[in-house]
Amino acid sequence: MGFRYTAVYLAKEMYLTGWVKNLQDGSVVLEAQGGTAQLRKFYIRLKCQNHFHIEKSLIKVIEPQPYERDFRVQHN
């Protein structure tokens, strides 16, 4: 299973909302909403996967999106 679908699986398991998508340059962007502790666990669980490698990450706090109800793969 690739990064995007692993992210979806873990996020749904942890009751997070948001999305993940591939960018044209081959990188992946992910936006997740949830409690601080949940988001930390999510990030750690993603980094601990042995079938892909997170080379670099940038974490930003953004305004919550109250309309989001699930976690999904976004297609361009």
Catalytic, 22? Answer: yes
Torsion from C-alpha of 46, 58, 25, 2, nearest 10 degrees: 0
* Polymer length in residues for the chain: 76
37 torsion bin: left (phi>0), alpha (psi -120 to 50), beta (else): alpha
Of 22, 50, 69, 76, which one is the catalytic site residue?
22
Confirm whether 4 is a catalytic residue: yes
Catalytic choice (4, 45, 50, 76): 4
Query: What distance in Å separates the CA atoms of residue 57 and residue 71, rounded to the nearest whole number?
Result: 19
Active site residues: 4, 22
